[in-house]
A and B are shown apart, each in its own frame.
Chain A
Amino acid sequence: DGGITQSPKYLFRKEGQNVTLSCEQNLNHDAMYWYRQDPGQGLRLIYYSHIVNDFQKGDIAEGYSVSREKKESFPLTVTSAQKNPTAFYLCASSPHGGNQPQHFGDGTRLSIL
């Protein structure tokens, strides 16, 4: 059954710590995206990638980093430079970048200890 798998479901970060959120898809999609959602707000784009080994900053990339070494995988690292990391993080994919709808994973909730 194809889909997007995000892990872990819940994550706690200590001050000064980097944490990595996993996103894996078996839909054979070229494009992948990371969003952040704060309570009562919409989705804000962190990073996106349309092809392996290439990615672009979104609207709120500061304090985050990504890699796209494999088509199926697009991990997001929340660095210690991100001072307010508590949020719901959503990974999405689409067949190609552009005008196609996105499919979302179940999300990771990140909190500060």
Chain B
Amino acid sequence: QKEVEQNSGPLSVPEGAIASLNCTYSDRGSQSFFWYRQYSGKSPELIMFIYSNGDKEDGRFTAQLNKASQYVSLLIRDSQPSDSATYLCAVTDTNAGKSTFGDGTTLTVKP
């Protein structure tokens, strides 16, 4: 079993819809959770980070964390074609100071 698993894609949504991206992790000691967006051929860029249980909103993006279920998600509201990219979930072992990445979910937003 992989340490960080993301829902298999690709995920396709129509423009204006809500895109839901999911991630589960195996290490209960994980304390920091990140979502990165990676356009094809480019490097990842930070979208959201969350440390505490619950929801965190930033514009059209909402990160949700449930440590009891070892689950973190990213919701993208009013999806735009420019949101089409691969989204990487990263989970950090704070004590070790390193992150483990999932394989990513590729999102396509159709006009």
Residues of A within 8 A of B (CB): 31, 33, 35, 40-45, 48, 50, 56, 58, 90, 96-107
Contact = CB atoms under 8 A, between A and B. Distances in A.
Contact of A99 (B46, B51, B88): B51
Interface of B: 4, 31-32, 34, 42-46, 49, 51, 88, 90, 92, 94, 97-104
B43 A90 contact: yes
Contacts of A50: 97
Contacts of B90: 43, 102
Given A99-B51, A101-B34, A101-B49, A42 B43 contact: no
Contacts of A105: 43
A106 B38 CA distance: 11
A101 B88 contact: no
A13 to B, nearest CB: 20
